[in-house]
Each structure stands twice: as C-alpha cells, then as structure tokens.
Amino acid sequence: MRRSFRRVLLGVCAVALATAAVLGYVGRGDAAGTNICPGSVCLGVVVSPHLTSAAPSEGFAAFAAGLFNNSSPSTATHLNLTLAFTNSTASTPAAATVRIDTSKIATLVDGAPVAATCTPERATSETFANVSTVSCSFPNLGGSHKAKIQLPFTPVDPTAPGSKISATLSASYGEGNGGTNDTQASLPDTLTIADGTTGAGKCTAGGSQLASVSNTNLTTSIGVPNYPAATTGQNLPCTAVGIGVSDTKITVGGVAGYVASLELPKVATFATVVHDVTPLPEKTTVKGLVIWESLEAVGDTSFTLKVPPCNADGFPKSPADAGFSSDTCVSDRSSLPKGGGRFILHALGASIDPRYTP
C-alpha cells in the first residue's frame, strides 16, 4: 500500500523511535494564472532529510526537489523552474550557498527524464559548483502533466549546528491560450543542520548506514547500521536518511521518555534500526515495553499505533491490524547493562514526496 507519510515511532518510556515526514507543503505565489492555476496548488517543494549532517561521511547532505503540476487543460509555455536556497536561521533570511554536482541536476516530466537548459549548465561528468539557485527551462508543458527539477546538495553556508536552510520552488510560464505570463512560488521546505551528536543525516547514491546518535543525557540513542537504496519508482536523486534524539521528555501511556526520530524513504526491503534505552523506565521490562508510532508527520502528535513484532520474513504484518503500524516492526529485544534495553527494528520507509510523485 502506498504510504503518504513516514510515521513517527515512539517507544513509550525513554524509547522513542520516530520519524519526521518529508512533506512538501505548497502554496500560491505571486501572480495567478487565469487558466493554468486559478487559485489552486500548482507547486510543491521537498528537502530530505529534514535533519542532516553539514559534512556527511559520503554522498551529499540532502536533496531538494520541486514540481510544477499543470492540472489544467491549457499549455504552460516557456516554463522555467527555479530552486532557491535560503539561510532561514536569522530573523532576516538571506541566500544560502550549497555545493552541487551539476551532472546530477535532474529534470523530469511525468517521472521521465527530459532535456532542459539549466543554470548552472549541466555537465556530462562530475562537476561541482557552489550556488544559491538552480534554474531549468523546459519545453512547453501540456495540460495534465507534471514537470520536476531535483538535485542532491551539501551546505556551504551556513554549516553551524542548528542552522536552517530552506528551499523554495518558483515557476514562470506563459498561458497557452495567449494569456499573460505568470510567476508563482511555493512555500519553502526547510532542513536543520545536525550537531553530529544528537542528530545526523546524509543522502547517498545507494544504501549505507548511520552511526548512533544520543540525547545529551545519554539515556536514549538511535542508529541505522544498514539501509538499502530507495526504490527506483520514487525517482529520487539519492537515498535520504536522517536520525535524531530529542532532549525534551514527553509522556506516553503514563511513561516518560525521549523521542528519537528516523526519516527514511521507501526502501527496497527494510532498514535495520538499533534503538537503545538506558535505564528502562520504572515498572517496565525489555520484553513488555511497548513501542508506539505517532502520526506526527501529518500533524497528529499523539502516539496511537503500536509497533508489532516482525514476521518470520522480517517484515511487519500486512495489512496491519487496527491500531498497529504497518511500516515498522520489532525484530529483536535484549537487555543492556545498567538496566537498559536494546530494540532492533525493521523500517520499510515511505514515499518521500507523496504530494507530487513522480
């Protein structure tokens, strides 16, 4: 079943496995096309992961993708799509600088690669450039078609932990029926640069791993010792994975603990996740501890779905029983010194940009 968001996992108690979804919130921009996009959502933008390392050990820090959805019957002529990166850390946002490989700038229509003229110019082999915007001009885009621009990137400025970089997609085009030219912009999607201790992330060409991170009091940690590549049907430029642990204690089911997050695209099989909690909360045991999943990705911060045991094949039960997760399961549980517990989870991930794939 196609999932529209990556759910948040929380193990009650100090357990908390969770994920922030990768949703591109979209909105209207400057001028409204009278036929192409009259008062409707035409543009979407996504960055992933939303928490990532400024200097990952491999690959890139994240990817950005933007889509123009011409859901009208009219043709958008001379379509230009621009991804702009902003340092949104300060109260007065300024341009951010990111490092890209120009050979990895991708332009697609309805999920299939198409020729487009881009600035900076696309290279045929690995060529790095530091930029604040990437702009591509498409051929005419007919009604009921979608044009997409996407690329992996790594921050150059800012890079300090806690800094935020936003991506915005803008589109300019003419009305195929002879109407005026239009310019529109999406609402931004934003990533936060992790400190490497309580959070980390990267976007790799294939599968990889992320070393464990912990909250500052070292009671809760999460790591991903292995994850497969994202499924090819999502048309992603790289496999974006991010993890983090909050220092803010919350209470679920009468048990207090810390939320650990996992952001993961839909992968070919499943990612292996190691989640440690030391010590376990009072009146809980390794065997009896319930791990919960939250729908925080879609605005529901309550933890209402139990994470079930994995089947013999390592996957969650499908379809899941009511009240249980269908994208994450518990593969193993074991005790740790000092009254702690280790929970091995298998996570399937979810479509990274469900609002506009392909």
Same domain? For 64 and 177 the reply is yes
Mean pLDDT of 95-115: 96
Same domain? For 182 and 217 the reply is no
pLDDT for res 321: 85
Question: Which has the minimum average pLDDT: 133-147, 183-197, 216-230, 282-296?
Answer: 282-296
Number of Cβ atoms within 10 Å of the Cβ of 26 = 22
Domain housing 136: 43-52+60-192
258 within domain boundaries: yes
36 within domain boundaries: no
Cβ contact 186:47 at 8 Å:
no
Residues listed for the chain: 358
Same domain? For 221 and 314 the reply is yes
pLDDT for res 339: 94
Q: Which of 192, 221, 239 is the last residue of a domain?
A: 192
Cβ contact 192:27 at 8 Å:
no
Can you tell me the distance from the alpha carbon of 294 to that of 299, in angstroms, rounded to the nearest whole number? 9
* pLDDT tops 70 at residue 50: yes
35 within domain boundaries: no
Can you tell me the distance from the alpha carbon of 332 to that of 329, in angstroms, rounded to the nearest whole number? 9
Q: In terms of pLDDT, which residue wins out, 175 or 262?
A: 262
353 within domain boundaries: no
The answer for residues whose C-beta is within 8 angstroms of residue 204's C-beta and 6 or more apart is 58, 59, 60, 229, 238, 239, 241
pLDDT for res 1: 29
Tens-place pLDDT, residues 5-43 = 233 333 333 333 333 322 222 333 334 445 677 654 689
**Percent of the chain having pLDDT more than 70?**
84
26 within domain boundaries: no
C-alpha 252: how far from chain center: 25
Same domain? For 164 and 252 the reply is no
pLDDT bin (cut points 50, 70, 90) of residue 300 is low
How many domains does one find in the chain? 2
Q: Which of 161, 192, 223 is the last residue of a domain?
A: 192
pLDDT for res 26: 30
Same domain? For 188 and 198 the reply is no
Cis amide leading into 113 (omega within 30): no
Residue 338: exposure state from Cβ atoms within 10 A (0-12, 13-18, ≥19): exposed
* pLDDT tops 70 at residue 246: yes
- Give the chain's mean pLDDT: 85
pLDDT for res 351: 75
Same domain? For 178 and 279 the reply is no
**Percent of the chain having pLDDT more than 90?**
63
Same domain? For 110 and 176 the reply is yes
pLDDT for res 180: 59
Same domain? For 230 and 330 the reply is yes
221 within domain boundaries: yes
Same domain? For 302 and 316 the reply is yes
Same domain? For 149 and 225 the reply is no
161 within domain boundaries: yes
- pTM for this entry: 0.87
Mean pLDDT of 240-259: 88
Same domain? For 171 and 291 the reply is no
**Among the listed residues 331, 81, 357, 126, the one whose alpha carbon sits nearest the alpha carbon of residue 230:** 357
Which residues on neighbouring strands pair with residue 171, listed in sequence order? Answer: 81, 184
Same domain? For 156 and 215 the reply is no
CATH number of the domain to which 156 belongs: 2.60.40.1290
Q: In terms of pLDDT, which residue wins out, 302 or 62?
A: 62
Tens-place pLDDT, residues 342-356 = 999 999 998 777 666
Q: Which of 192, 214, 249 is the last residue of a domain?
A: 192
Q: In terms of pLDDT, which residue wins out, 18 or 208?
A: 208
Cβ contact 291:12 at 8 Å:
yes
pLDDT for res 356: 61
208 within domain boundaries: yes
